[in-house]
C-alpha cells in the first residue's frame, strides 16, 4: 500500500537535515570537507533545505578511487553535502521499508550485521542437521556484478509501490543518475554511497520474498548480494538455485555469479560474511588476515598514524574474536614489539 502523506516535506525539514548532518559527520569530524562545511553550518544547511524544497538540488560529481583490501573495488565518494542529503532521504524512507524487509536480511540495518548473520547461520545449521547429527547442504550464492547491474527503472517501480510522493521519486532519481559512468545512466549504483546500500536491500527484498514465500525456504539468510539457503536435500537446493536464477533474470535483470554460486556439504565448511564456518568452529578468511597485516605494513611505512592503526586494530580484533583464532591475534602482537599500545 502506498503512503498517502507528503513525506518529501519531512526529508528537507531542517530538523531532519540537522540529524542527517550529525550522522554524515560521525567518525569524520577531522576531515577537511566536514570542517569546511561547518564553517558556515547554518547557511549551508539552509541552502540544502532551499534546493530540496524548490527541487533545484543537483549532486556534485562523484570522486572515484580504487581500493585494494585486498579485493580490488572501485569506490565512488560523494561530496559531504550530498552525503547529508543521502542520510536525510534514508532517515525517512527506512521507516517505510524496514518493516517490509525479512528478518534475515542482515546488511546495513540497525541491530543486524555480519555477526547477527553468523548467529543465524549457526542456528539454521543446527536445525538443518538435526543438531549436527545428520548430513545437510548449503546453497551459497551471490549476484554477478550486483551494484553495477541494478536497473534504475525496476528500482523506481519497486519504490513506487510504497511511496506515492512524486517529489521523493524525483530525488531518488537524481541520486541514481549521479553515476560516474555516463554510458550507464539507466543502471548501476556507486559503491560507497549510503543510498546505494539502502537501495540494494530494497531491490533484493524482491528475491527474499520469492525465496521465502514461493520456494518456502525455511533457512535462508541474505547479506547484501551474498545469500545462503540450507536444506537436508541437495536436490531441493538444486531446484532452488535454478528457480532463483530464473527469477533474477526475469524480474530484476540480474544473474547469479557462475563461480561463486554452488551447493556445498555443510560438513566441509561454508564461507560466509568473512568466516569459514564449520560445525564446531569458525576461521577468519585469509584475506581478512592479510588486510590487517597490510595495515601494519602501512603503519611501518608511515602511511597511517599510530592512532589510525589502533582504531583499525580495535575494529578488526572485535570482529576476529568471533573466530577460533586466538593464537593468530597473540602472534600478531608478539611479532610486532612496537605495538605495545594494542
pLDDT at residue number 204: 98
Segment 222-255, tens digit of pLDDT = 999 999 999 999 999 999 999 999 999 999 999 9
Distance separating alpha carbons of residues 154 and 203, to the nearest angstrom: 8
Q: How far apart are CA 276 and CA 284, in angstroms?
A: 6
CA dihedral 178, 180, 185, 188 (to 10 degrees): -90
CA-CA-CA-CA torsion sign (169, 174, 176, 177):
positive
CB proximity list for 246: less than 8 A, separation 6 or greater: none
C-alpha distances (whole Å) from 63 to each of 67, 68, 70, 188 are 13, 16, 21, 16
pLDDT tens digits along 37-91 = 999 999 999 999 999 999 999 999 988 877 666 566 777 889 999 999 999 999 9
Q: What pTM value is reported for the model?
A: 0.87
In degrees, to the nearest 5, what angle opens at C-alpha 311 toward C-alphas 308 and 316?
125
Amino acid at each position: 500500500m502506498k503512503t498517502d502523506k507528503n513525506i518529501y516535506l519531512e526529508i528537507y525539514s531542517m530538523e531532519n537535515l540537522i540529524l542527517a548532518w550529525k550522522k554524515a559527520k560521525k567518525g569524520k569530524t577531522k576531515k577537511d570537507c566536514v570542517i569546511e562545511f561547518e564553517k558556515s553550518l547554518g547557511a549551508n544547511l539552509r541552502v540544502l533545505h532551499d534546493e530540496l524544497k524548490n527541487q533545484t538540488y543537483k549532486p556534485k560529481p562523484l570522486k572515484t578511487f580504487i581500493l585494494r583490501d585486498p579485493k580490488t573495488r572501485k569506490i565512488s565518494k560523494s561530496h559531504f553535502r550530498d552525503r547529508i542529503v543521502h542520510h536525510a532521504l534514508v532517515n525517512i524512507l527506512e521507516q517505510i521499508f524496514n518493516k517490509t524487509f525479512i528478518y534475515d536480511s542482515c546488511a546495513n540495518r540497525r541491530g543486524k550485521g555480519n555477526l547477527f548473520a553468523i548467529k543465524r547461520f549457526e542456528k539454521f545449521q543446527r536445525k538443518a542437521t538435526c543438531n549436527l547429527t545428520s548430513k545437510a547442504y548449503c546453497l551459497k550464492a551471490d549476484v554477478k556484478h550486483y551494484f553495477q547491474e541494478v536497473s534504475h527503472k525496476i528500482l523506481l517501480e519497486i519504490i513506487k509501490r510504497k511511496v506515492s510522493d512524486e517529489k521523493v521519486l524525483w530525488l531518488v532519481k537524481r541520486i541514481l543518475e549521479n553515476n560516474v559512468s555516463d554510458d550507464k545512466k539507466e543502471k548501476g549504483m556507486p559503491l560507497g554511497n549510503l543510498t546505494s546500500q539502502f537501495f540494494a536491500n530494497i531491490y533484493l527484498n524482491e528475491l527474499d520474498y520469492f525465496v521465502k514465500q514461493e520456494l518456502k525456504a525455511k533457512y535462508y539468510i541474505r547479506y547484501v548480494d551474498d545469500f545462503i539457503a540450507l536444506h537436508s536435500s541437495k536436490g531441493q537446493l538444486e531446484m532452488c538455485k535454478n528457480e532463483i536464477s530464473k527469477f533474477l533474470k526475469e524480474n530484476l535483470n540480474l544473474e547469479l555469479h557462475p563461480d561463486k554460486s554452488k551447493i556445498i556439504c555443510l560438513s566441509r565448511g561454508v564461507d560466509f560474511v568473512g568466516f569459514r564456518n564449520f560445525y564446531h568452529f569458525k576461521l577468519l578468511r585469509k584475506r581478512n588476515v592479510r588486510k590487517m597485516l597490510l595495515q601494519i605494513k602501512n603503519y611501518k611505512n608511515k602511511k597511517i598514524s599510530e592512532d589510525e592503526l589502533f582504531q583499525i586494530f580495535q575494529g578488526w580484533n572485535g570482529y576476529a574474536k568471533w573466530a577460533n583464532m586466538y593464537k593468530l591475534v597473540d602472534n600478531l602482537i608478539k611479532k610486532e614489539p612496537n605495538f605495545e599500545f594494542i
